[in-house]
Structure 1
Amino acid sequence: MDHDGALGLTRRRRSVPIRTGGPGALVARRLVLLPVLAGVVTLVMFLLAQRSPFDPVLAVLGERALTLDGPTLEAMRARLEDTSAVQQWLTWWGNALTGDLGYSTSQRTSVGTVLAQRLPWTIGLVSASLLVSIPLGVALGGWAGTHPGSLVDRVIGPGMLSVQAAPPFWLGLVAVWVFAVTLGWLPTGGATSPQASGVELLDVLRHAVLPVLVLALAHLPWFVLVVRDATRDALAGAPVHAAWARGIPRRRLLRSHAVRPALLPLVTVLGVRVPELITGAVLVETVFSWPGIASATVDSALRLDFALLAALTVLTTVLVVLGNLAADLAYRLVDPRVGQRDG
């Protein structure tokens, strides 16, 4: 979906009445839907895993399978083949609901430990990138939208489209080559220096500069272009012309009648871009060897670590649903009229 498609989605969304009973009903409905969606997604994963061409014993045991003799391996394969994907799915959920997420063969520790150790790193990386990209996107998009045809507008349009076309991993590699290899200003990867005795705040911040900026840059075009187009639409509307006629000062008019309405499509884009945020984090963490949960996803897929994959699938589903829920609640907060069109 390009930015024009996202803006079109925003316009359609604003024109359709929200048939809810308020924020409480919206939250309740999404929370009821969440376990159903997580169950369906994980069931599909187990069905695909059973039909994959990979050795099921190797997927379950990992490198431990190399220590077993032939008859033992064949007996385990026969037992796994006799167990349907639905039975494996029910067993996994039964254990997960008791707090046992299984053992990660790729990370060589429990899945719960992997999530506890890596999830904060990913949350910090994504949060920091949004703190950079959202204000910058509003500022650049608002300026370009309120100054159509200016030099800034002519540079921002093609520039953002060029960045939007570049994959995040390519942006990461270019950033490493320029700022780490050529200039030597920043580290090439990791979250801490090899000589560090522990996790030191300044050391982590220095290592986080490149991955945060690259992830922020990867999502910046969406915010800039949507805010710019929404601002232009607002300026062409009747309320702005009426405000001009009443003699409202330019700065106040632009802030209240142009840039502020542009926050509505920005919130919508944030909601629909949650999966892209996760995908971008996977690529950026892999390039910069960032010790987050996204890089563990790559390892679990390459090493057939289905226990960790199942947990990450549930986690991703939860993040997507909660991200969209947060966007819907923020949409109501920015435009209270949304909550008044119920029924």
Structure 2
Amino acid sequence: MILRRIVYAFVLLLAVLVMNFALIHLAPGDPVETLVGEMGGATPEFIEQMRAAYGLDQPFYIQLATYLGRVAQGDFGFSLYFNRPVLELMFHRIGPTILLVVTAVLIALTLGTFLGVLAAQRRNSWLSHLVTVFSLVGYSTPVFWVGIMLILVFSVALPIFPIAGMYQSDTSATGLAFLLEVLHHLILPAMTLALIYLAFYTRLSRASMIDVLDSDYVRTARAKGLKNYLVIYKHALRNAILPVVTFAGLQFGQVLSGAVLVETVFGWPGLGTLAYDSILRRDTPTLLAILFFSASLVIVVNMVTDIVYRYIDPRMRAEQ
């Protein structure tokens, strides 16, 4: 079972590589002309030399075959704009992005599930209606607008948090002091990214919990005289959280795409900012590597989600 999924994952990654390469090369514009324009111009001979140096003068199928061969060897090429190995660029940007995304997902999952369970227990109260309104407003609000509003409130009007960056450029902090400084810079970007998905997980967990609380085995547990918190958090929540876990894995790709906007708004030095710069400058090798990494991460998270789902739901283990 696991081996078959790994084979499917490799086939899917190969398809992603081919499609990304084809779509980027079909897009209008020339990376060399973009680079030369930022340099102030160049002679036609120099432009042709640069195209030959990067292999852009070859037919499409030769470029594709060459690229796939290099990726198979772990070589993603050189950045056209930064003139550095792509893996070296990504190595310095992966950590901040993973920190931002994981923090936002944990906040959204934990707080969203808690609010959903709380609202499900009081389904006709003002709290339940407040959660519903919050979910609708939060899920329909653009993530970049939320980020800008948080900056205006908590960085401009109330200067509590820094506006941009991961730490102060002139910082000399080390150890715990440096960690606290990074966390201080992380709060606003993580909350911005988490608020959108927090609203969705709250709504989903509330609806799922209401269905579970009306089931026969929950009524049986109550009839046995079990305490309410045991009924809720030991019996009901374990089944109610299954749709939340499933959607968390399926939406991981959307969280990564939302991180691009959040990193751009807050100047967070992650892969999202690097992807934005690469798109503006037509830095094809860097953009292809970022897309490949994002696709790999989404596939791995989906596989982990499936394993966790089987662990949580005993019926899946029985079928297995």
Structure 2 residue 168 is matched with structure 1 residue 190: no
- Compared with structure 1, are the counterparts of its residues 255 and 93 closer, same or farther at alpha carbon in structure 2 (3 Å cutoff)? same
Match of 2:256 in 1: 278
Percent same amino acid at aligned positions? Answer: 33
Amino acid at match of 1:285: E
1:35-80 CA distance string (max 9 Å, x none): 3222222212222233322025336x56687564223435766996
Amino acid at match of 2:7: V
CA displacement at 1:179 relative to structure 2: 0.1
Q: 1:124 aligns with which of 91, 99, 120?
A: 99
CA displacement at 1:84 relative to structure 2: 2.7
Q: 1 CA distance for matches of 2:186 and 2:69?
A: 38
CA RMSD of aligned residues (A): 2.2
1:22-46 CA distance string (max 9 Å, x none): xxx23x2232122322222221222
Match of 1:263 in 2: 241
- Compared with structure 1, are the counterparts of its residues 159 and 242 closer, same or farther at alpha carbon in structure 2 (3 Å cutoff)? same
Q: 1 CA distance for matches of 2:219 and 2:73?
A: 61
Question: What is the correspondence of 1:296-335 to structure 2 with a 5 Å cutoff?
Answer: 296-335=274-313
- Compared with structure 1, are the counterparts of its residues 58 and 35 closer, same or farther at alpha carbon in structure 2 (3 Å cutoff)? farther
Question: What is the correspondence of 1:1-343 to structure 2 with a 5 Å cutoff?
Answer: 25-26=1-2, 28-58=3-33, 68-74=42-48, 83-197=58-172, 200-342=178-320
1:125-180 CA distance string (max 9 Å, x none): 11112222221112101111111112211111111210111111111000000000
Q: 2 CA distance for matches of 1:142 and 1:299?
A: 41
CA displacement at 1:250 relative to structure 2: 2.4
Q: 1 CA distance for matches of 2:261 and 2:38?
A: 29
What runs of 5+ residues in structure 2 fail to find an aligned partner? none
User: 3-state DSSP class of the match of 2:28?
Assistant: coil
Q: 1 CA distance for matches of 2:226 and 2:27?
A: 65
Amino acid at match of 1:257: H
CA displacement at 1:241 relative to structure 2: 2.3
CA displacement at 1:249 relative to structure 2: 2.7
Amino acid at match of 1:217: L
Q: 1 CA distance for matches of 2:202 and 2:288?
A: 35
How many corresponding residue pairs? Answer: 316
Q: 2 CA distance for matches of 1:230 and 1:338?
A: 18
C-alpha contact (below 8 Å) 2:166/2:269 kept by paired residues = yes
Q: 1 CA distance for matches of 2:49 and 2:269?
A: 37
Amino acid at match of 2:250: V
Q: 2 CA distance for matches of 1:53 and 1:78?
A: 19
Q: What's the TM-score once normalised by structure 1's chain length?
A: 0.85
- Compared with structure 1, are the counterparts of its residues 69 and 221 closer, same or farther at alpha carbon in structure 2 (3 Å cutoff)? same
- Compared with structure 1, are the counterparts of its residues 287 and 156 closer, same or farther at alpha carbon in structure 2 (3 Å cutoff)? same
Q: 2 CA distance for matches of 1:81 and 1:284?
A: 33
User: 3-state DSSP class of the match of 2:241?
Assistant: helix
CA displacement at 1:322 relative to structure 2: 0.5
CA displacement at 1:93 relative to structure 2: 2.2
What runs of 5+ residues in structure 1 fail to find an aligned partner? 1-24
Q: 1 CA distance for matches of 2:47 and 2:268?
A: 36
User: 3-state DSSP class of the match of 1:104?
Assistant: coil
- Compared with structure 1, are the counterparts of its residues 225 and 102 closer, same or farther at alpha carbon in structure 2 (3 Å cutoff)? same
C-alpha contact (below 8 Å) 2:103/2:190 kept by paired residues = yes
CA displacement at 1:195 relative to structure 2: 2.5
Q: 2 CA distance for matches of 1:107 and 1:162?
A: 40
- Compared with structure 1, are the counterparts of its residues 201 and 56 closer, same or farther at alpha carbon in structure 2 (3 Å cutoff)? closer
Q: What's the TM-score once normalised by structure 2's chain length?
A: 0.91
C-alpha contact (below 8 Å) 1:37/1:317 kept by paired residues = no
CA displacement at 1:232 relative to structure 2: 0.2
- Compared with structure 1, are the counterparts of its residues 161 and 195 closer, same or farther at alpha carbon in structure 2 (3 Å cutoff)? same
